[in-house]
Copies of this chain bind each other. A is one copy, B any other.
Amino acid sequence: MTKINKAACIGGGVIGGAWAARFVLAGIDTNMFDPHPEAQRIIGEVMANAERAYAMLTMAPLPPKGKLTFCKTIEEAVDGADWIQESVPERIELKRNVITQIDAAADPKALIGSSTSGIMPTELQRDMKHPERMFVAHPYNPVYLLPLAELVGGEKTSKATLEEAKAKLAPIGMKGVILKKEIEAFVGDRLLEAVWREGLWLIKDDICDTETLDDVIRYSFGMRWAQMGMFETYRIAGGEAGMRHFIAQFGPCLSWPWTKLMDVVDLTDELVDKIASQSDAQSGAYGFRELERIRDENLVGIMQTLKGSNGGQGWGAGKLLSEFEEHLWKNAPKPEAKASNEPIKLLDAKVHPSWVDYNGHMTEHRYSQCFADSADALLRLIGVDMDYVAEGHSYYTVENHVRMLDEAKLGEALYVKAQILPGDGKKLHTFMWLYRASDDMLLATGEHLMLHVSSKEGKSVPPLAAVLAKLQPLIDAHAGLALPEGAGRHVGQKKG
């Protein structure tokens, strides 16, 4: 798969900083140019948010982080980069000048994307020497989580550039959609602008306040649009007869007085005050960073939900997350456990919001999940991967025993260590400890028995030689360890 080898971000605010986070967390070395005196602090905060979100988003193995380098000039930043993303303020002359400067200094083959929310790429590429590689890649905040980039070419942009950009976004977990024609504000911001204008009228005319308007969205069509968008949703509303029926039924509304959009609202000081104070009443109890944190957790949860949708095949952004994870697994170095007479560290996780009960404590079956995920990690270490399973071999868990010793709380970092107990590899018997990372407090122990099976033969068989060759040294290395306290115990057994 075609991929970005080195990225440059020109402009590093909320958008540029989050592009940098996307690149760096996907393992891409990234140069950053931003003359803002506090650029390093701001980008550091965005990066921390992004890392926190990714730790909740996926159990797939992220590559080692790319190196983030702050540069003093645009020329220095673009040196050696094959994807350059411009995210400077939304003023056409400034953007055009910066892009022209990037063009002059960059490798002529490097792709140059602009984060502009609305300026047409033809305007931006006007003065470039190599305009065919310039396009709009318009992302959505938070860029490190929301996967969309609208890809829009100008008059001089080559078709190959847009296809290459789309292909290069996939390995960093993004969905590039290519628009057929350039227009100001592209597609997403056109739709958002329409809602924004209508919303301003509703507030100005005192039909409702900002909180009610938000509630109308989030308790209703917002949840539809997270998964299906507008046309697919209306297709369902049309019932068996589909889209045609829907249009026949609701088309006439177009000529009804259902909108004030023919008119543009005047943003007087009075209206700005009204909106700002309603917004304070609605959301002022939460700080800006707190709202960001809640938003990111919700986005993570929504994407994870959509990943499990449609019988496990995934849907929309969840299907994209699956594909991203598959890519991460494929490109992760095949891990191999070094045989050592120490227990093996298998899991780094954080207590996710969906893991806790109303007291904020990790709920019972999530302990089991930590151990089950650790067992999966052990299997990957010995070469039991998706290919092995596809060939008809796998380990099945037949039983487990968990002792809960202490509580884990929301957001706490956890890790698991495992000892392999004596066995022939057809049986894989482990004992594991779950620790809190901050103070190495033991929270639980798990004992786990797996059987190697052939799905073709429908019975338990020894693992294939390649797997056994990796497993046997681990079994041998742990053979000298004492049986852990707690192993072989049954439920309710007296201590000692």
Q: Are A197 and B261 in contact (CB under 8 A)?
A: yes
Q: How far is the CB of A448 from chain B (nearest CB, A)?
A: 7
Q: Are A309 and B305 in contact (CB under 8 A)?
A: no
Q: Are B279 and A242 in contact (CB under 8 A)?
A: yes
Across the interface, A491 reaches (CB within 8 A) one of B197, B228, B488, namely B488
Q: Are B179 and A212 in contact (CB under 8 A)?
A: yes
- List 18 other contacts, CB 8 Å, given A214-B229, A247-B276, A489-B490: A148-B220, A180-B208, A185-B253, A185-B258, A186-B207, A188-B217, A210-B231, A222-B229, A227-B302, A243-B279, A254-B264, A298-B315, A302-B302, A399-B403, A401-B490, A447-B490, A487-B491, A490-B493
Across the interface, A218 reaches (CB within 8 A) one of B90, B316, B397, namely B316
Is A360 on the interface with B (CB-CB < 8 A)? Answer: yes
> Which positions 286-319 of chain A face chain B at CB distance < 8 Å?
288, 291-292, 294-295, 297-299, 301-306, 308-313, 315-317
Residue on B nearest A229 in the bound complex, by CB: B214
Is A272 on the interface with B (CB-CB < 8 A)? Answer: yes
Of the listed stretches A63-71, A127-135, A349-357, name the one at the interface; the rest are far from the partner chain: A349-357
**Could you name 5 residue pairs across A and B whose Cβ atoms are closer than 8 Å?**
A193-B198, A218-B316, A233-B295, A365-B365, A368-B400
Across the interface, A397 reaches (CB within 8 A) one of B215, B236, B242, B404, namely B404
Is A39 on the interface with B (CB-CB < 8 A)? Answer: no
CB-defined contacts of A306 to chain B, threshold 8 Å: 298, 301
A222-255 near B? 1/0 per residue, CB < 8 Å:
1111111111110111011011100101110111
Of the listed stretches A106-114, A139-147, A435-443, A467-475, name the one at the interface; the rest are far from the partner chain: A139-147
Q: Are B258 and A184 in contact (CB under 8 A)?
A: yes
Q: A401 vs B278: C-alpha distance in the bound complex, in angstroms? A: 53
Is A160 on the interface with B (CB-CB < 8 A)? Answer: no
Interface centre among A209, A230, A404, A410 (most CB of B within 10 A): A230
Across the interface, A213 reaches (CB within 8 A) one of B14, B141, B230, B249, namely B230
Q: A209 vs B226: C-alpha distance in the bound complex, in angstroms? A: 19
Residue on B nearest A427 in the bound complex, by CB: B492
Across the interface, A449 reaches (CB within 8 A) one of B183, B288, B492, namely B492
A256-269 near B? 1/0 per residue, CB < 8 Å:
11110110110100
Q: A250 vs B200: C-alpha distance in the bound complex, in angstroms? A: 13
Q: How far is the CB of A347 from chain B (nearest CB, A)?
A: 13
CB-defined contacts of A159 to chain B, threshold 8 Å: none
Interface centre among A140, A194, A356 (most CB of B within 10 A): A194
Q: Are B189 and A199 in contact (CB under 8 A)?
A: no
Residue on B nearest A237 in the bound complex, by CB: B141
Q: A278 vs B250: C-alpha distance in the bound complex, in angstroms? A: 18
Is A391 on the interface with B (CB-CB < 8 A)? Answer: no
Is A60 on the interface with B (CB-CB < 8 A)? Answer: no
Q: A354 vs B213: C-alpha distance in the bound complex, in angstroms? A: 31
Across the interface, A298 reaches (CB within 8 A) one of B189, B247, B305, namely B305
Q: Top 7 closest A-B pairs, CB basis?
A: A214-B229, A301-B305, A222-B225, A368-B368, A148-B219, A140-B220, A226-B226
Q: How far is the CB of A308 from chain B (nearest CB, A)?
A: 4
CB-defined contacts of A275 to chain B, threshold 8 Å: 231, 243, 247
Q: How far is the CB of A54 from chain B (nearest CB, A)?
A: 16
| A312/B357 contact (C-beta < 8 A), A449-B491, A491-B429 known | yes
Is A118 on the interface with B (CB-CB < 8 A)? Answer: yes
CB-defined contacts of A368 to chain B, threshold 8 Å: 364-365, 367-369, 400, 402
CB-defined contacts of A295 to chain B, threshold 8 Å: 224, 227-228, 233, 236
CB-defined contacts of A341 to chain B, threshold 8 Å: none
Q: A259 vs B200: C-alpha distance in the bound complex, in angstroms? A: 15
Q: Are A230 and B214 in contact (CB under 8 A)?
A: yes
CB-defined contacts of A253 to chain B, threshold 8 Å: 118, 185, 193
Residue on B nearest A355 in the bound complex, by CB: B308
